[in-house]
Amino acid sequence: MTIQSSVWLGTANLPRYQALDADQEADVVVVGGGLIGLTTALHLQQEGVGVVLLEGGRIGTRTSGNTTGKVTSQHGALYAKLLDRHGRDVARQYGAANQEAVDEVDNIVRQLGIECELSRGPSYVYSTGDLREEAAAARELGLPAHEADPSEMGLPLSAASAVRFDNQLQLHPARYLTGLAAAFTRAGGRIFEHSRVTDLDSEGEGVVARTESGRRVVARHAVAATLLPFGTLGGYFARTRPSQSHGIAVKLPVQAPTAMTISADAPTRSTRPWPGGGPSGLIVVGGDHETGAQEDTNASYQGLVDWVDQLWGTTVQPEYRWSAEDYSTPDQLPYVGKAPGSPVLVATGMHKWGLSNGTVAAGILRDLVLDRSNRWSDVFDAGRIGDARSVAKLVQDNLKVGKEFVAGHTRRLLGAGLDHVEVGEGGLYDLDGTTVGAYRDHAGTLHTVVPVCTHLGCPLRWNQGDSTWDCNCHGSRFTPEGTVLDGPTTTPLKKPED
């Protein structure tokens, strides 16, 4: 039987914390209990700054707990593109920041004694084309990169070229996050779960974080370390694009490759060992698509299974399967810093490399709160507009969003009435002339919602593979009952009877 959970969340005992049940005061309020939020909060608390961290659900259970667990400065075949687009100085700083993040995570694990399956090893990017330019670019930027023979990877596939980054890092992300949370609270930090923040407002010389329960945290500084800044904060919903990737954990009939790998060619296939699966354990991630754009997300999972079956000539049954969402910026550099027109500090657009980029972001956020300089803050500047290509991409993306807003509301319905909705089936239905989103769970209970995103009113699509309602406009995601999972929205879906 395949478990619908990341292998990390399925094999970790994340701590639980009470919800915010009384108003609080702090030096800093951090919103978001993923890697960026927990690392930033820990840094500040260790500096003697009093921090309250608010998480809308459970810490570590969204994107940060659904990664591959790779902490690398190798971000696919990226560096030749960065050199061409941004020049040597920016590309060098981006690479150096992420390589330092690899070592920083290693140091944090060792200093705090976190048991998280930490190991060092090579990471490869491979292609059916020529990656010599990528290898030369990465070496020029001072990264530990070398041209490599694709056979070194241990994958039974045909590739023409590969680039190897030496001494990279992999770990169990959920256990790492558990260690960060424990260290933060030991240092005096306060964590409140199931305390979704709906507003961050200026008040006097500080900021007030208001939660959906009505409780507040008053602080001198606020950090929005959510996947995307919520609401319309900073306009980042219009300056990024959401995408979803899928993962499986399998046991092969032979020993699994021990290296970390990722394809430069589409469709992306990223692999790493799965220590918990024994010598034959392998994790495969890929099947990328824009959030809410894939008609059949089960096909994305099946594509990963088929790839494994084809390479190893076998039939595998995934023990775990899961998905994760992230946001990308038009110029491929994250946004970290002060949001335009707001006192709130933000971090978003990690481009699916959040364990390294997010560690860099946490250092920048810490230094901004402490009014210290940071070497990487200019490269990751949250207020930048970008070059002409970035502006053109933003225009193109937002025209697409407008088209989705109009066309999506006329999407084909599965049928009239709800009596024939089968167990495990979901989608859009006509109920007395009104479009209703419906899903019947495996216990036979029918869940209905108004399939309109509560962020800016875009239409929602049913994600059959994950049993979620997804917004293609700005990436908000909801459970079948309408509870917020990800994205810029903070408000649950309405019910048809409301």
Residue 131 contacts residue 163 (beta carbons within 8 Å): yes
- Alpha carbon 418 to its chain's center: 34
The token pair that represents 232 in the structure block:
């319309």
Write the CA distances from 233 to 14, 200, 382, 488, integer angstroms. 30, 9, 12, 9
Q: Does some domain include residue 132?
A: no
What is the CATH number for 474? 2.102.10.10
Q: Does some domain include residue 212?
A: yes
Angle at 384 between CA 381 and CA 385, to 5 degrees: 160
Indicate if 455 and 313 belong to the same structural domain: no
Indicate if 410 and 492 belong to the same structural domain: yes
Residue 79 contacts residue 143 (beta carbons within 8 Å): yes
Considering 286, 305, 325, which residue would you say is the last residue of a domain? 325
Distance CA 22, CA 480 (A): 30
Indicate if 343 and 321 belong to the same structural domain: no
What's 481's DSSP letter? T
User: Position 165: which residue type?
Assistant: F
Q: Where are the beta strands (DSSP E) in 329-391?
A: 335-338, 345-348
Give which of 319, 232, 270 is closest to 74, Cα–Cα: 270
Distance CA 357, CA 99 (A): 10
Considering 309, 325, 341, which residue would you say is the last residue of a domain? 325
Residue 332 contacts residue 351 (beta carbons within 8 Å): yes
Q: Does some domain include residue 432?
A: yes
Give which of 223, 189, 193 is closest to 362, Cα–Cα: 223
Indicate if 203 and 302 belong to the same structural domain: no
419 C-beta neighbours (distance < 10 Å), count: 7
Report phi then psi at 476, rounded to 5: -70, 145
Q: Does some domain include residue 459?
A: yes
Write the CA distances from 62 to 14, 84, 124, 354, 485, integer angstroms. 12, 34, 26, 12, 8
Q: Does some domain include residue 484?
A: yes
Indicate if 356 and 405 belong to the same structural domain: no
Distance CA 24, CA 234 (A): 25
Indicate if 412 and 476 belong to the same structural domain: yes
The token pair that represents 401 in the structure block:
């969003």
Indicate if 394 and 376 belong to the same structural domain: no
Indicate if 496 and 393 belong to the same structural domain: yes
Residue 215 contacts residue 20 (beta carbons within 8 Å): yes
Give which of 22, 488, 37, 490 is closest to 217, Cα–Cα: 22
Q: Does some domain include residue 140?
A: no
Q: Does some domain include residue 448?
A: yes
Indicate if 305 and 398 belong to the same structural domain: no
Indicate if 304 and 358 belong to the same structural domain: no
Indicate if 212 and 337 belong to the same structural domain: yes
Query: 319: domain range?
Result: 249-325
Residue 42 contacts residue 189 (beta carbons within 8 Å): yes
Distance CA 395, CA 19 (A): 40
Residue 278 contacts residue 253 (beta carbons within 8 Å): no
Considering 339, 365, 386, which residue would you say is the last residue of a domain? 386
Say what angle helices 173-186 and 35-46 make with each other, to 10 degrees. 30
Write the CA distances from 260 to 72, 199, 273, 326, 460, integer angstroms. 10, 40, 7, 20, 35
Q: Does some domain include residue 72?
A: no
What is the CATH number for 21? 3.50.50.60
Q: What is the pLDDT along the chain (498 residues), one digit of tens a residue?
A: 899 999 999 999 999 999 999 999 999 999 999 999 999 999 999 999 999 999 999 999 999 999 999 999 999 999 999 999 999 999 999 999 999 999 999 999 999 999 999 999 999 999 999 999 999 999 999 999 999 999 999 999 999 999 999 999 999 999 999 999 999 999 999 999 999 999 999 988 899 999 999 999 999 999 999 999 999 999 999 999 999 999 999 999 999 999 999 999 999 999 999 999 999 999 999 999 999 998 789 999 999 999 999 999 999 999 999 999 999 999 999 999 999 999 999 999 999 999 999 999 999 999 999 999 999 999 999 999 866 575 466 556 555 556 555 555 556 677 777 888 999 999 999 888 889 999 999 999 999 999 999 999 999 999 999 999 999 999 999 999 999 999 999 999 999 986
Indicate if 393 and 485 belong to the same structural domain: yes
Distance CA 126, CA 77 (A): 8
What's 222's DSSP letter? E
What's 381's DSSP letter? B
- In this prediction, residue 441 carries a pLDDT of 94
Distance CA 347, CA 357 (A): 10
Number of domains in the chain: 3
- In this prediction, residue 203 carries a pLDDT of 85
What's this model's pTM, rounded to 2 decimal places?
0.95
